[in-house]
Amino acid sequence: MERGRFYQQFGERSGSEESGSARHAFTAFTERLASARERTQRQETGLQRVHPFDPYNLMRKFNSSYERRQWNDIGFQPTEEQNTKVRKVRFAYGIIAEPYCAEKTASGESSRIHQDTIVHEIGIDQQEHGNNSVVLTDEERKILVKVAQSEGIPCDPDRTVYFHDEIPHANWLDKRRVPTPTVVDAGK
């Protein structure tokens, strides 16, 4: 991804033009995340399609760029705390948005491609980190509510805990699990 391209998706000319601290840039990121639908709908070309998966995908790109230390893709150098906030909001959003992220194929059939991405990534978090839920701070909850409302996804503004089992189970996880070996008592 070229320099600043991540922020071009939010309507900025260049990520390098972001002024102020990482905190200011992060706040600007979350504001653009919540208003991506509005801007896309106003575009005259009509070529870009808005989908409930888009905010999830933008947050996963943020986390991925952070972990690869590709600050230019993000447009600023976020802190570990900011990366964690985006990850938690991403998973909470994925949990509530998953049923709405079905994709229509060219033939008009329904595809689970975006839903399966969400289920897969939350399943990885569950398997690798032992997480069964996402607990949001007040700030994270406010971000989630803004993003969900901008996409028309129902979201309880007072809710702070989102459970992984609210979405379908990732069947592939069962195939990857290593069975627990049977313990045999050698003395018997």
Q: Which residues pair with 161 in a beta bridge?
A: 135
130-170 pLDDT, tens digit each: 999 999 999 999 999 999 999 999 999 999 999 999 998 76
Q: Is the pLDDT of residue 6 over 50?
A: no
Instruction: Identify the residue whose tokens are 């997480």.
Output: 131
Q: What are phi and psi for residue 134, nearest 5 degrees? A: -125, 125
Q: How far is residue 39's CA from residue 50's CA, in Å, rounded to a whole number?
A: 10
- The rounded mean pLDDT for the chain is 79
Domain boundaries, the chain: 5-176
Q: What is the pLDDT of residue 173?
A: 53
Residue 84 in 3-state DSSP? helix
Q: What is the pLDDT of residue 170?
A: 66
Cα distances from 154 to residues 59, 77, 100, 157, in angstroms, run: 19, 32, 10, 9
Q: How far is residue 65's CA from residue 61's CA, in Å, rounded to a whole number?
A: 6
Show the tokens assigned to 42.
Answer: 């106003």
Instruction: Identify the residue whose tokens are 């600023």.
Output: 76
Q: What is the pLDDT of residue 30?
A: 78
What pLDDT band is residue 187 in, cutting at 50, 70 and 90? low
What pLDDT band is residue 29 in, cutting at 50, 70 and 90? confident
% of the chain with per-residue pLDDT over 90: 53
Show the tokens assigned to 15.
Answer: 């990520």
Q: Is the pLDDT of residue 17 over 80?
A: no
Helix (H) or strand (E) holding 138: helix 138-151
**Which amino acid does the sequence have at 136?**
L
Q: Say if pTM beats, i.e. exceeds, 0.75.
A: no
Cα distances from 168 to residues 49, 83, 94, in angstroms, run: 26, 26, 12
